[in-house]
Amino acid sequence: MVEVVNLSKKGRVFGVSFRLEEGALALVGPNGAGKTTVLNLLVGRLKPDRGEVRIFGHPPRSLEAAKERAYVPQQIAFPLHLRVREVLAAAQALAQVGDDAREEATHRMGLTPYLNAFVGNLSGGYRQRLALAAGLMGEKKLWLLDEPASALDPGGFARLVEWTREHKAKGGLLIVSAHRPDEVEAFADEALLLSAGRVRWRGPVERLYTYRLPDGRRLEEVLPGVRVVREPVDVLKEVLYEEESA
């Protein structure tokens, strides 16, 4: 469980509180809303001026919390002269996991054909795939992701969505910052809306959107109780989700 009580950081966030016991929570808001600050406080990179954070009952800067938590920031600058396999090997050593975990993360993000490629030769989308494979290797209980899809290609996005869904199905927790509707819908069950560092609203993701028919009626009026999932048609999937060149 993740518990945040009256969390404040001067000039950034003010009195943020929430609890996550299962599933996934999206931190939603414009740039400067406080999403990254909240994640940095959960990771322990920042120390709060007031309030408390508990990661499975432990302070965020404790070894116990670190063992249960995986964090992928919005941008990671890997040395350009390293090969993909070298970055993954270093991540494996840092995470203290076996070869199976490294191979699974590599496969999950579609990096197997590019193990010998230099980081400097990868596209931006594939560098983000590498960051996610390295950061999520070993599948710790809590994943903290800061706008993970911002640099991803569509194929990488689809792979990450599948991985996060399986993570949740196994009982894992996810807190992800996002501002695009498709990211929020794909990753999260609930949303926490932040504005100028303060919580404005929390609730189910489906309550963030409404769908209307051409005559103006809301879809829920015609089909009460039915939840609509937006999905691309086959030809769009073929164009967008095919594996691009690294």
| Ranges under pLDDT 70 in the chain | 227-233, 235-246
- Our measurement of the distance from residue 48's CA atom to the centroid of its chain's CA atoms, rounded to an integer in Å, reads 22
Structure confidence at residue 239 (pLDDT): 47
Can you say whether the dihedral through the CA atoms of 231, 233, 239, 243 is positive or negative? Answer: positive
Burial class (CB in 10 A: 0-12, 13-18, 19+), 96: exposed
Containing 245, the helix (H) or strand (E) segment is none
Structure confidence at residue 235 (pLDDT): 55
Averaged pLDDT of the chain: 91
- Our measurement of the distance from residue 152's CA atom to the centroid of its chain's CA atoms, rounded to an integer in Å, reads 12
Would you give the end-to-end CA distance of the chain in angstroms? 37
Structure confidence at residue 147 (pLDDT): 95
Rounded to an integer, what distance in angstroms lies between the CA atom of residue 81 and that of residue 123? 14
How much helix, strand and coil, in percent to the nearest 5, is found in the chain? 40, 25, 35
